[in-house]
Structure 1
Amino acid sequence: MIKRISIVGCGWLGLPLAKSLLQDGYHVLGSRRELNALAELSDQGIEAYQLDLIPHIVSNDIRALLKCDLLLINIPPGRKTNTAEFHIAQIKALLLAAKQQQVKKILFISSTSVYGAQQGVVDEVTTRHAESTSGKALKHIEDELLNSRDFQASVLRFSGLVGGHRKPGRFLSGKTVSGPLSPINIIHRSDCIGLISQLIKRDVWGEQFNASADLHPSKQAFYSLAAEQLGLAPPNFVEGASSTKVITNQKIKASLAYQFHYPDPMKWLQANIQEAE
């Protein structure tokens, strides 16, 4: 039974997730890279530890951080150290420490970027053709975890992330963008948290899931409205090859009996929801 959950990476997603899990009655441990950032976690009731991966472990107490029933790894590849090898080395160092501390269950937060520029409907049996540096790193780590004999692991791949300070109106404002009719694949932070919570409650391991909102409006419709609502210049859309890539969420909805809070990205924008940063 899962009682203690360690979240490596308590930032935009990890911190509100930790707060939600605390409300659900779990004992939550969390990490930040800098020691002086731990007070923010402690003030929320999170057992806080410093952890940096450079790529070896730098921590004030890695053993205590990994004293858990479930390790949730939520650290995307860094932009400054933008090599697949570096991020793979980071996660390998963390997994070795987790093995030494006899962690049994791992939830790895990945990205649908592992599929590259696929066309058409993309589901969990679609071959992953990662193209970006980060996508290649995530694919490698996914394979290592899903084939591991040391852990019970599941992989959760999120599409484009929105919510909080990630306001999509800022993403393409004033830029020249091609493929106006391309469908978008996004997911709101509230649904990221809801899906993670449900996966933990149902104790689902050895699985891989894709997560995106139910509906996929066109790039032009979504980002034009998003910019308008923030009073920003809309993107300048030009004709060009449109993607047909659509990430389907059917498996995760069925497996976890989950209904999305924000299934329609356009309705979320139209509601003009004011969110905390």
Structure 2
Amino acid sequence: MKISIIGLGWLGLPLARSLAQQGHHILGSTTSPEKHRQLMAEGIDNVLFRLDPHPSGEGFNRLFEADLVVVNIPPKRRSMPDTFHPEQLKYLKTLIQQAGIGKVIYTSSTSVYPNTNGEVTESTKLCPNSTAHSAVYEAEKVLWAERHYELTVIRFGGLLGMDRIPGHYFSGKEQVAGNIPVNYIHQEDAVRLIAHVIDKELWEETYNGVCPLHPEKRSVYEKNAQEMGFEPPKSYRNKDLPDYKVVSSQKIRETGFVFRVEDPLEFYYNTK
């Protein structure tokens, strides 16, 4: 297939390499001229493309000469209002529709689910008042609305592994929330899950991409610190508020997908 990946970032770039190895023709996008040149030198075809929220770049119309578009644009939650990301998707959707592209994958986030103090699944009802991430919730709605393409939404948990070490972010911190379950997925499995959806043609669905096992945050942070030699959190909250969720991955596993790293306590990292 001709596959365009909008966003050759931490997840998009290894996805591009993996799909290319499987024989797909890959074109990606980046917002950085320096990264564009670097990737071209590595033999990874890419174009400059931005959504601010209107589209701009150089030669980006090539992105829409594809059978499938993978939308991998993280919301700029800290620097932009919640309306920005859905606006990006509106412009992108127009380009996709005009080009007549048949299939779209949107990499969403489990942050759309509210903290229920229990398990959430793909069938958990969401609304503007209950979602914990309105930008992603509204972006999903934009893509699901009147359309001419087949869509699958993958709601990923915390994307970790490789150079993203969860315990490192809390090293030396005080009053860290430690007694609540994690909803993580390793980079390798996130890449494999997207490839699985493409290979098995799992269209018109929403899937959670989260490890089947959910150890407590404290266990993960302490193991990271012990194995990699940095300081663990200085202290944990005496009693965490009962404010959590456990995201189920049963639906994607029922399609035959098998996680290679089921337990966040067993994640491997590249610390070089």
TM over 0.5: yes
Q: Number of residues paired by the alignment?
A: 267
Give TM-score, length-normalised by structure 1.
0.91
SS in structure 2 at match of 1:68: coil
Point out the more displaced range, 165-174 or 19-28. Answer: 165-174
- The aligned residue for residue 275 of structure 1 is 270
1:116 CA drift (Å) = 2.5
Q: Does 1:264 align with 2:259?
A: no
Matches within 5 A, 1:145-160: 145-160=143-158
- The aligned residue for residue 192 of structure 2 is 194
CA contact (8 A) 2:67 2:102 kept: yes
Point out the more displaced range, 226-235 or 214-223. Answer: 226-235
The one-letter amino acid of 2:264's match is P
For residues 74-127 of structure 1, give each alpha carbon's deviation from its aligned partner in whole angstroms, at most 9, with x where no partner exists: 011114532111111111111111111111211000000001322201110112
1:4 CA drift (Å) = 0.4
SS in structure 2 at match of 1:171: helix
SS in structure 2 at match of 1:237: coil
Point out the more displaced range, 146-155 or 48-57. Answer: 146-155
- The aligned residue for residue 254 of structure 1 is 254
Give TM-score, length-normalised by structure 2.
0.93
- Specify every segment of 5 or more residues in structure 2 that has no aligned partner in the other structure, as ranges: none
SS in structure 2 at match of 1:64: helix
1:267 CA drift (Å) = 2.5
CA contact (8 A) 1:184 1:216 kept: yes
Matches within 5 A, 1:125-274: 125-128=123-126, 129-131=130-132, 135-235=133-233, 236-240=235-239, 241-255=241-255, 257-268=256-267, 273-274=268-269
CA contact (8 A) 1:154 1:208 kept: yes
1:145 CA drift (Å) = 1.8
Distance between the aligned counterparts of 2:148 and 2:198, measured in 1? 19
Identity %: 36
The one-letter amino acid of 2:265's match is M
Matches within 5 A, 1:92-107: 92-107=90-105
Point out the more displaced range, 192-201 or 176-185. Answer: 176-185
Distance between the aligned counterparts of 2:50 and 2:195, measured in 1? 25
Distance between the aligned counterparts of 1:154 and 1:177, measured in 2? 39
Instruction: Give the one of 42, 50, 53 matched to 1:52.
Output: 50
Distance between the aligned counterparts of 2:59 and 2:245, measured in 1? 43
Matches within 5 A, 1:6-85: 6-79=4-77, 81-85=79-83
SS in structure 2 at match of 1:156: strand
Distance between the aligned counterparts of 2:262 and 2:159, measured in 1? 13
Distance between the aligned counterparts of 2:143 and 2:77, measured in 1? 23
For residues 170-229 of structure 1, give each alpha carbon's deviation from its aligned partner in whole angstroms, at most 9, with x where no partner exists: 121122245432111100000000100010011111100111111111111111111222
The one-letter amino acid of 1:265's match is P
Point out the more displaced range, 77-86 or 257-266. Answer: 77-86
SS in structure 2 at match of 1:238: coil
- Give every structure 1 segment of 4 or more consecutive aligned residues whose post-TM-superposition deviation is greater than 6 Å: none
Query: Root-mean-square deviation (CA), in Å?
Result: 1.6
The one-letter amino acid of 1:266's match is L
Cα distance change, pair 149–16 in 1 and its aligned pair in 2 (3 A): same
For residues 29-63 of structure 1, give each alpha carbon's deviation from its aligned partner in whole angstroms, at most 9, with x where no partner exists: 00000223212322343321000111111121221
Point out the more displaced range, 34-43 or 83-92. Answer: 34-43
CA contact (8 A) 1:183 1:243 kept: no
Distance between the aligned counterparts of 1:107 and 1:147, measured in 2? 14
- Specify every segment of 5 or more residues in structure 1 that has no aligned partner in the other structure, as ranges: none
